Amino acid sequence: MEGIRFEWDETKNLSNRKRGDAMKTKMVSYTLDRLPTLTKAQRANLKALETRPDSDIDTSDIPEMTDAQWKNARRGHFYRPRKRQITARVDADVLDWLKAQGKGYQSRINRILRREMLTSVKSAK
């Protein structure tokens, strides 16, 4: 069975950099609901990869993490949800209270709402 093979061509990379082509490439961005459709060849390749046993996967360049390393792992540490701008009406005394606590009242509103959301989700389970 033949797998996908990626090789770095340093000569090509250097010639591209000399011409400045590296900066001329267009950045492409996809969302989950707007992914390009896979070709028949891509689907066949994925199917072939799916049937391969894990023992065929070379992980020598990415060794498995030890239990000691997982012990200090923190889930979601680098997660930063996307922010959306909204217009919301709040009682004047509530807004005064938030602003009286110093700079960052909008972040405080977000923290309060997130805490309530997480409490609600946790209690629903």
- Give the pLDDT confidence of 73-124 residue by residue, as tens digits: 888 888 888 899 999 999 999 999 999 999 999 999 999 999 999 999 989 8
pLDDT of residue 1: 45
> Per-residue DSSP letters for 8-73?
--HHHHHHHHHHTGGGTSPP----GGGPPPPPHHHHHHHHHHHHS-GGGS--TTSPPPPHHHHHT-
Mean per-residue pLDDT over the chain, rounded = 84
Indicate the pTM of the whole model.
0.41
Q: Which residue has the higher pLDDT, 59 or 19?
A: 59
Q: Residue ranges per domain, the chain?
A: 92-124
Secondary structure of residue 81 in the 3-state scheme: coil
